Chains A and B, each alone.
Chain A
């Protein structure tokens, strides 16, 4: 069992007798320290997509699949290609199945690829990813009262709310579940 707040795009969960690939996780901070995660799930058997919301403390039945370390080579419009580091075999995973995981992988990076019935289905992401800021506005504290965060775009195209002091070129640590800023790379 895993808490809903700990799973991320690419994980597989079991509900009843069905396996679901988590394609997308939208994380919303609610009142108190609560949060709601709206997930886009793909039924691994039928391919049907559905949305389900959970609180971060809901318990989910995570399924561990076979994992292989592979290198991310390139992407096309529809899919991402990965290479086995030992056999040099290549596999492709569709962009749709990777969902939000695409925001956390960089070319040539070694990633954990999950296999279901010998087919590559998703990536097992680490809890956080280090990503370079490619664009953000310069904000000086005091420019606008009360402004403590601002949007920043990182090298994978993801937009993240960051503290006002973050500058272009800095590498930030982003939580792969919440897609939120965690800190700066030291």
Chain B
């Protein structure tokens, strides 16, 4: 399909946490990176979250333009004022406001619904499938995933601009100095209790600076009483998206949650564990198992994979191992950080072989 221009409207409904807004912002920036002269508009119903992710975005403004992206507070803007772009993107089935939707169905060329990333096998059969709308525009589903036949992974490729986001940047803020015999880790989860793992990290042979990010992790961990040990818990301020991406990059291991952080953790290619967003009816467990099965392909050493898998299950709150076993698994995980990283790097290479989400999306549009 030849779009009449490269302008795009991205619609995002924030359900909870930071992932929805984070992905929307990342998508807008990735698109803007590809088409610097295009009009990129991000319609969102919670600007305050965008302000957390990038403080230059003013949450009190109904409409604002920053670095060639127009941010629109959908709760305050009059949607009748907007002419939909040729390409309209709905993130995670964000409903389009009625007056806007009617115009988009008649005047836009293409509406894409970008879903959540999944390693499940159905992704390939649904990715790209056509929907039907009563209008002129065509509508398609776009499903991010880890295989060639899926929509790929959304990552930022823009370079860090002015600030050197190195270890010193993060540690100095807490009056700590980087040192070669210390490890740096990140914990950003949904507040699931991980005491056995934390206890093991505290007893580990090396000193660990663990950045506990997000209020759920911070709240959960603040209840944990730790005896004096090797683990230093750091409760940082809320990092911007750029800073958080950089933190994942400089860390030795990342214990992350949700979709956006998973994709960035894969991209920075350090050892990570992933806590999946909890859903009802075991749906997230099915998705987690699909991810585990997919990841296994990249581990030649099955003993090593077992360590990784066992700790991943524990991190997701579905392990039946006893605390002592988890401590042992955690030691093995920490002893093998480098080896695990090498396997996860193969995963990254494979996923990005056919391009990032934005590159694949543009190819997909060409081929419709």
Q: Contacts of A28 on B, CB cut-off 8 Å?
A: 120, 122, 126
A53 located at the interface, meaning its Cβ lies under 8 Å from any Cβ of chain B in the complex: yes
In contact, A38 and B129 (Cβ under 8 angstroms): yes
Report Cα–Cα, A94/B165, bound state, in Å.
Answer: 66
Residue interface bits A52-66, CB-to-B below 8 A is 1, else 0: 111101100000000
Report Cα–Cα, A33/B278, bound state, in Å.
Answer: 10
In contact, B129 and A16 (Cβ under 8 angstroms): no
Contact A145/B93 with A32-B15, A52-B131 known, Cβ cut-off 8 Å: no
B310 located at the interface, meaning its Cβ lies under 8 Å from any Cβ of chain A in the complex: yes
In contact, A31 and B115 (Cβ under 8 angstroms): yes
Distance between B105 CB and nearest chain A CB, rounded to angstroms: 12
Contact A36/B313 with A28-B122, A29-B279 known, Cβ cut-off 8 Å: no
Q: Contacts of A34 on B, CB cut-off 8 Å?
A: 92-93, 115-116
CB-nearest residue of chain A relative to B314?
A145
Of the 9-residue stretches B76-84, B171-179, B240-248, B284-292, which lies at the interface with chain A? B284-292
In contact, B288 and A53 (Cβ under 8 angstroms): no
B141 contacts which of A32, A53, A142 (Cβ < 8 Å)?
Answer: A53
In contact, B321 and A145 (Cβ under 8 angstroms): yes
Interface residues of B in 104-133 (CB under 8 A from A): 113, 115-118, 120, 122, 125-126, 129-132
B320 contacts which of A33, A145, A180 (Cβ < 8 Å)?
Answer: A145
CB-nearest residue of chain B relative to A58?
B131
In contact, A52 and B132 (Cβ under 8 angstroms): yes
Report Cα–Cα, A141/B134, bound state, in Å.
Answer: 49
Contact A57/B93 with A16-B134, A34-B115, A145-B320 known, Cβ cut-off 8 Å: yes
Q: Contacts of B95 on A, CB cut-off 8 Å?
A: 57
Distance between B123 CB and nearest chain A CB, rounded to angstroms: 8
B283 located at the interface, meaning its Cβ lies under 8 Å from any Cβ of chain A in the complex: yes
Report Cα–Cα, A32/B131, bound state, in Å.
Answer: 20
CB-nearest residue of chain B relative to A15?
B132
Report Cα–Cα, A31/B15, bound state, in Å.
Answer: 11
Residue interface bits B54-96, CB-to-A below 8 A is 1, else 0: 0000000000000000000000000000000000000011010
Contact A146/B282 with A30-B118, A53-B131, A57-B93 known, Cβ cut-off 8 Å: no
Residue interface bits A21-51, CB-to-B below 8 A is 1, else 0: 0000010111111101010000000000001
Report Cα–Cα, A156/B15, bound state, in Å.
Answer: 39
Number of interface residues of B (CB under 8 A): 39
Contact A145/B313 with A29-B283, A30-B118, A33-B280 known, Cβ cut-off 8 Å: yes
Report Cα–Cα, A26/B121, bound state, in Å.
Answer: 13
B93 contacts which of A26, A52, A55 (Cβ < 8 Å)?
Answer: A55
Contact A32/B116 with A16-B134, A142-B320 known, Cβ cut-off 8 Å: yes
Contact A149/B93 with A30-B115, A32-B15 known, Cβ cut-off 8 Å: no
Residue interface bits A126-162, CB-to-B below 8 A is 1, else 0: 0000000000000001100110110000000000010
B331 located at the interface, meaning its Cβ lies under 8 Å from any Cβ of chain A in the complex: no
Distance between A137 CB and nearest chain B CB, rounded to angstroms: 16
A149 contacts which of B129, B134, B286 (Cβ < 8 Å)?
Answer: B286
Distance between B116 CB and nearest chain A CB, rounded to angstroms: 2
Number of interface residues of A (CB under 8 A): 27
Residue interface bits B279-320, CB-to-A below 8 A is 1, else 0: 111110111110000000000000000000010010010111
Q: Contacts of A26 on B, CB cut-off 8 Å?
A: 122, 125
Contact A146/B288 with A29-B279, A31-B116 known, Cβ cut-off 8 Å: yes
CB-nearest residue of chain B relative to A54?
B131
Q: Contacts of A149 on B, CB cut-off 8 Å?
A: 282, 285-286
Which of B130, B131, B286: most chain A Cβ within 10 A?
A: B131
Distance between A43 CB and nearest chain B CB, rounded to angstroms: 12
B169 located at the interface, meaning its Cβ lies under 8 Å from any Cβ of chain A in the complex: no
Q: Contacts of A33 on B, CB cut-off 8 Å?
A: 279-280
CB-nearest residue of chain B relative to A59?
B134
B115 contacts which of A15, A36, A51, A148 (Cβ < 8 Å)?
Answer: A36
Contact A38/B280 with A31-B259, A53-B130 known, Cβ cut-off 8 Å: no
Report Cα–Cα, A31/B20, bound state, in Å.
Answer: 11
Distance between A166 CB and nearest chain B CB, rounded to angstroms: 13
Q: Contacts of A36 on B, CB cut-off 8 Å?
A: 115, 126, 141
Residue interface bits B303-347, CB-to-A below 8 A is 1, else 0: 000000010010010111100000000000000000000000000
Report Cα–Cα, A34/B95, bound state, in Å.
Answer: 12
User: B residues within 8 Å of A by Cβ?
Assistant: 15, 92-93, 95, 113, 115-118, 120, 122, 125-126, 129-132, 134, 141, 143, 259, 277, 279-283, 285-289, 310, 313, 316, 318-321
- Top 10 nearest A-B pairs by Cβ distance? A31-B116, A53-B129, A146-B318, A29-B283, A30-B115, A28-B122, A146-B313, A34-B93, A55-B93, A52-B132
Contacts A31-B115, A31-B117, A146-B318 aside, 8 further interface pairs with beta carbons under 8 A come to A30-B118, A32-B277, A34-B93, A52-B132, A55-B113, A142-B320, A145-B318, A146-B285
User: A residues within 8 Å of B by Cβ?
Assistant: 15-16, 26, 28-34, 36, 38, 51-55, 57-58, 141-142, 145-146, 148-149, 161, 180
